[in-house]
């Protein structure tokens, strides 16, 4: 259908109220209106939907929009209906509809009222749907989220592979349109081949979202980091992505108990819950959605101000797509990812049962994620290079909008070393991956090096004076600088570009690289500090600690119990660090549960509140972080089983626990102030005389320590397990 430029602008104004097109929208729409196969690659927020919605409204017949998610279809249909008065203008046809609703949709299509019909590929595959679509006029087929076609895409779906044959089953002359917000050159090629549209008009917008700030943080106390960030940005909308449904629910609960309006979202919820939570986020009844990647595809909320990745995703395409939810209105958008290499190792383990080819693809994609996280060059430059786009980090739009750019890492002169890398690649005829190249450089006799006899070439070990991690960083950075490229089709083999060949022929005077981040050492160091805290805690208020000990001693005398029964030393140390002044804050102190706080807490928080006021102390804001009460199924099961007087060893085996693990769990339960009655079990396994002796010992003891008790009472007369059982009984009856 021919249309003048003015007519197209008029259509835009009439249907959507906009006076001008964004980016390459107009070119894409003109291509579709001219009956051409069309491929549009635009970043999230670039206005992809309009590229098929406007032609669908202009052309005769109904456009079929193939979309991967029911929630996405509903969102798109609601959106298009909101622009006009006719609700029949757009429909979806999927498993959420009953027979009456399906009949209504089909009738509206037959009547010519429906201009857009959204279908999942599975629905398109049904014979009755194919027969129906053959009987009506189809204007074109649009494949949304087309990256789902490629196994190299971040959300590969095998059913997308059959779209071409299904479309040809309807008609061989229907033009096809593919749209995606993320496609590396490899994914782009896969999409075109699979849809049979290698001659399509391709429109690729820049992937540079200049308003987004990219940052990677070590995964140290991530919940605290989240709560602090959200509270400092109160009222702003944000999304937190996690890889597991369990983690989604845990984090949403942690945010809620800390006064943050947050909801969980994942595919395990029923359709009503998902829809309700999504709508509450869109309507700003909640500020934060914690979600798996099931959330966000096509969610049209322009003012998402931050996107956190609690876990690093499985691919950079997934990461880019998800960060793209931020700042779609062109305003502020912060994209922060928590990185711990242990998370990557977990993902690698999950791949072990999969076919070898799938594992190979998965590992290559994960390697790129690790490279992005650990790199010290501009993250924007790294991302854009991954999508086949070059960018000037000094003058380019969005310069200095990532953590590496504003906090540059140490530079190292690397010209001569880079020539060594190139020497090794040349000697091995550009047929190997980065890891193998580095093993040859450092002289590591890996099985692969031995298989190819690369330990016999003159270049073997020429870089052994440089750390392997630095060689890996150098190869990655050289690829981003355009000296090498990874041949994805061939398992990521490192090959020279023309610029790389020129580097060898005429080496520059200087070539610098940046040292990579070493997040692992930061995380390990933090874990070490948590495992072995400095005596009394690094920032403990010694004066307050002394006052709390005096108060504990005084109360212990009044109640005629040992001081540790009231609160143990680690709890007092934490109080002298965190300054809790409410019962809620006291619950968050190490070893203090609700029962303990109610029974003994009042005088302690009164003393701390007075001390804080008298000494004008600024309390740490981290104190606001409350823990979610542990309602784990295991804990509930243990308490309920004890109520039923089940033997402890039976409880342990039923939950797949070691007996000592069960005792540890029980110790946590009673130390935090919950009563449990295990007398029925103790009476069976410990003599009455022994019970009395141990009970009296703990009543007089200065410490609840089991090793000390063993020394005092004699390891010949008592086992460690017996003393632990008696300590659980003692704390439950006397302390709680």
Q: What is the CATH number of the domain that holds 642?
A: 1.10.10.1390
Q: pTM score, two decimals?
A: 0.68
Asked whether residue 307 falls in the same domain as residue 394, the answer is yes
In this structure, what CATH number is given to the domain that contains residue 289? 3.40.50.300
What pLDDT score does 399 carry?
Answer: 93
Residue 230 has pLDDT above 90, yes or no: yes
Cβ atoms of residues 520 and 506 within 8 Å: no
**Would you state the torsion angle of the CA atoms of residues 252, 256, 260, 263, taken in this order, to the nearest 10 degrees?**
40
Instruction: Categorize the per-residue pLDDT at 35 as very low, low, confident or very high, splitting at 50, 70 and 90.
Output: very high
Asked whether residue 457 falls in the same domain as residue 540, the answer is no
What pLDDT score does 191 carry?
Answer: 92
Kind of pairing, strands 484-487 and 493-496? antiparallel
Residue 3 has pLDDT above 70, yes or no: no
Q: Which of the two residues, 1 and 401, has the higher pLDDT score?
A: 401
Predicted confidence (pLDDT) per residue in 582-630, tens digit:
888 887 787 787 778 888 889 999 999 999 888 888 776 544 566 665 5
What pLDDT score does 4 carry?
Answer: 46
Domain boundary residue, one of 406, 425, 456: 406
Helix (H), strand (E), coil (C) string for 49-116: HHHHHHHHHHCCCEEEEECCCHHHHHHHHHHHHCCCCCHHHEEEECCCCCHHHHHHHHHHHHCCCCCE
**Residue partners of 373: CB distance under 8 A and separation at least 6:** 216, 312, 337, 339, 517, 519
Q: Residue 179 pairs with which residues in a beta bridge?
A: 40
Residue 535 has pLDDT above 80, yes or no: no
Asked whether residue 46 falls in the same domain as residue 71, the answer is yes
708-718 as b/e: b if 16+ CB within 10 A: ebbeebeeeeb
Cβ atoms of residues 711 and 664 within 8 Å: no
Phi, psi of 669 (to 5 degrees): -60, -50
Q: What is the C-alpha to C-alpha distance for residues 277 and 249, in angstroms, rounded to an integer?
A: 13
Asked whether residue 34 falls in the same domain as residue 177, the answer is yes
Phi, psi of 291 (to 5 degrees): -145, 160
Phi, psi of 412 (to 5 degrees): -130, 130
DSSP-derived secondary structure letter, 329 = T
Residues constituting the chain: 736
Q: What is the C-alpha to C-alpha distance for residues 286 and 238, in angstroms, rounded to an integer?
A: 10
Asked whether residue 243 falls in the same domain as residue 115, the answer is no
Kind of pairing, strands 201-204 and 38-41? parallel
235-239, 439-443, 489-493, 564-568: range with lowest mean pLDDT: 489-493
Please name the residue that has the structure tokens 């309807």.
Answer: 170
How many domains does the chain fold into? 5
Predicted confidence (pLDDT) per residue in 273-316, tens digit:
888 898 899 888 999 999 987 665 446 688 999 999 999 999 99
Asked whether residue 359 falls in the same domain as residue 227, the answer is yes
171 lies in which domain range? 5-204
Cβ atoms of residues 96 and 77 within 8 Å: no
Cβ atoms of residues 440 and 451 within 8 Å: no
Phi, psi of 154 (to 5 degrees): -80, -10
Asked whether residue 37 falls in the same domain as residue 182, the answer is yes
Asked whether residue 644 falls in the same domain as residue 720, the answer is yes
Q: Is 724 exposed, middle or buried (0-12, 13-18, 19+ CB in 10 A)?
A: middle
Q: What is the C-alpha to C-alpha distance for residues 500 and 322, in angstroms, rounded to an integer?
A: 33
**Residue partners of 391: CB distance under 8 A and separation at least 6:** 208, 380, 381, 384, 385
């Amino acid at each position: 259908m021919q249309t003048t430029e003015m007519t197209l602008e008029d259509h835009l104004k009439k249907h959507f109220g906009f006076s001008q097109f964004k980016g390459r929208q107009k070119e894409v729409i003109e291509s579709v209106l001219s009956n051409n196969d069309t491929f549009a690659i635009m970043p999230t927020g670039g206005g992809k939907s309009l590229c098929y919605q406007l032609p669908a409204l202009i052309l005769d017949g109904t456009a079929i929009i193939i979309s991967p998610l029911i929630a996405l279809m509903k969102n798109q249909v609601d959106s298009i209906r909101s622009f006009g008065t006719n609700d029949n203008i757009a429909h979806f046809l999927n498993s959420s509809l009953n027979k009456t609703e399906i009949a209504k949709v089909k009738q509206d299509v037959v009547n010519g009222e429906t201009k857009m019909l959204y279908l999942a590929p599975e629905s398109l595959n049904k014979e009755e749907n194919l027969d129906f679509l053959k009987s009506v006029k189809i204007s074109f087929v649009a494949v949304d989220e087309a990256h789902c076609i490629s196994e190299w895409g971040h959300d590969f779906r095998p059913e997308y592979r059959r779209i071409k044959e299904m479309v040809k089953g309807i008609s061989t002359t229907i033009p096809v349109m593919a749209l995606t917000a993320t496609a590396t050159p490899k994914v782009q090629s896969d999409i075109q081949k699979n849809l049979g549209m290698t001659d399509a008009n391709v429109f690729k917008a820049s992937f540079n979202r200049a308003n987004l700030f990219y940052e990677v943080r070590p995964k140290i106390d991530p919940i605290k980091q989240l709560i602090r960030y959200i509270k400092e940005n109160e009222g702003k909308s944000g999304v937190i992505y996690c890889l597991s449904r369990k983690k989604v629910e845990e984090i949403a609960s942690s945010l809620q108990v800390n006064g943050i309006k947050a909801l969980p979202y994942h595919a395990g919820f029923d359709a009503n819950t998902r829809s309700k939570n999504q709508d509450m986020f869109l309507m700003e009844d909640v500020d934060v959605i914690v979600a798996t990647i099931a959330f966000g595809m096509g969610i049209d909320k322009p003012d998402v101000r931050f996107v956190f990745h609690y876990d690093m995703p499985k691919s950079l395409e997934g990461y880019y797509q998800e960060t793209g939810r931020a700042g779609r209105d062109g305003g502020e958008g912060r994209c922060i990812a928590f990185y711990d290499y242990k998370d990557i190792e977990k993902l690698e383990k999950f791949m072990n049962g999969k076919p070898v080819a799938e594992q190979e693809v998965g590992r290559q994609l994960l390697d790129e994620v690790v490279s992005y996280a650990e790199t010290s060059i501009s993250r924007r430059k790294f991302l854009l290079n991954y999508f086949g786009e070059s960018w000037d980090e000094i003058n380019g739009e969005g310069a200095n909008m990532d953590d590496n750019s504003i906090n540059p890492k140490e530079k190292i002169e690397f010209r001569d070393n880079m020539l060594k890398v190139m020497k090794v690649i040349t000697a091995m005829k550009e047929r190997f991956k980065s890891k193998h190249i580095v093993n040859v450089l450092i002289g590591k006799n890996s099985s692969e090096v031995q298989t190819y006899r690369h330990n016999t070439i003159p270049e073997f070990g020429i870089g052994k004076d440089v750390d392997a991690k630095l060689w890996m960083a150098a190869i990655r950075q050289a690829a981003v600088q355009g000296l090498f490229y990874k041949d994805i089709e061939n398992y990521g083999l490192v090959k020279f570009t023309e610029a790389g060949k020129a580097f060898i022929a005429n080496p520059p005077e200087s070539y610098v690289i940046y040292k990579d981040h070493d997040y692992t050492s930061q995380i390990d160091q933090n874990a070490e500090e948590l495992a072995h805290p400095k005596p009394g805690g690094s920032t403990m208020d010694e004066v307050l600690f002394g006052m709390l000990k005096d108060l504990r001693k005084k109360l212990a005398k009044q109640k005629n119990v040992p001081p540790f029964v009231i609160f143990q030393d680690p709890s007092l140390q934490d109080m002298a660090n965190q300054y809790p002044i409410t019962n809620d804050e006291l619950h968050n102190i190490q070893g203090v549960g609700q029962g303990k706080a109610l029974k003994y807490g009042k005088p302690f928080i009164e003393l701390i509140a007075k001390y804080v006021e008298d000494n004008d102390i600024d309390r740490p804001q981290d104190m606001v972080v409350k823990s979610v009460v542990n309602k784990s199924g295991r804990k509930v099961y243990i308490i309920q089983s004890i109520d039923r007087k089940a033997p402890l060893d039976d409880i342990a085996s039923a939950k797949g626990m070691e007996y000592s693990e069960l005792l540890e769990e029980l110790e946590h339960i009673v130390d935090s102030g919950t009563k449990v009655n295990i007398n029925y079990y103790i009476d069976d396994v410990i003599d009455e005389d022994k019970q009395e002796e141990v009970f009296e010992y703990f009543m007089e003891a200065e410490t609840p320590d089991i090793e000390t008790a063993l020394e005092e009472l004699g390891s010949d007369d008592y086992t460690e397990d017996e003393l632990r059982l008696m300590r659980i009984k003692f704390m439950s009856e006397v302390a709680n």
